[in-house]
Structure 1
Amino acid sequence: MDRLQFEVPVRITPAPGLPVEEIYGVEQALDFLQGWPAHRQGPVYQKAFNACFGATVEVVKTEEACRAFMAFCRVSGLMAKDMMTPPKRGGQANGLRA
């Protein structure tokens, strides 16, 4: 497995009426974040961007980048309703509640 690939793809709905997209790794998350409107970039966006960029230069673990990107998606209302959270160490995956 590619070191920058997320353990579980992050499922997002980029806009109402559009199909669900799956973000499979750090590079795809960065591409998505770079297209995010500047006037909507707040602290949660910046944390996700920094974490994803940090993962590309091996300063941040991919797992941390995934968590930061998921937090951004949740806060921004992008997270697909059927998205499962990645399993915690030694645990089971958890479903998000609507």
Structure 2
Amino acid sequence: MDRLQFEVPVRIAPAPGLPVEEIYGVEQALDILQDWPVRRRGPLYQKAFNACFGATVDVVKTEEACRAFMAFCRASGLMARDMMTPSRRSSEARPLQA
């Protein structure tokens, strides 16, 4: 497994009517973040961007970057409704709470 690949892909719905996309790793997350409108960037965006960039240079763990990206997606309304999140206690996935 690539060191920058997420344990569980992050499922996003970029816009109403568009198909759900799966983000498999840090590079794809950075692509989404770099394309995000400047006027909509805030603290969660910056945290996600910094974590994902940090993962590319081995300063941040990939799963920490994934959690930061997921928090950004959840807060910005990008997260797909059917997204499963990894449980902290085991490798089992659990549904995202709406």
TM-score range, shorter chain: over 0.9
CA distances 1:55-94 after superposition (whole Å, capped 9, x unpaired): 0000000000000000000000110000000232435211
3-state SS in 2 of match to 1:82? coil
RMSD between aligned residues: 1.0
Aligned to 2:46: 46
Structure 1: runs of 5 or more not aligned = none
Q: Output aligned runs, 1:1-98, within 5 Å.
A: 1-98=1-98
Counterpart CA distance in 2 for 1:23 and 1:91 is: 19
TM-score, L = length of structure 2: 0.95
Counterpart CA distance in 1 for 2:66 and 2:74 is: 12
TM-score, L = length of structure 1: 0.95
In the alignment of these two chains, the number of paired residues is 98
Change (3 A) 1:91 1:23: closer
Identity of aligned residues (%): 82
Of 41-50 and 83-92, more deviation after overlay is shown by: 83-92
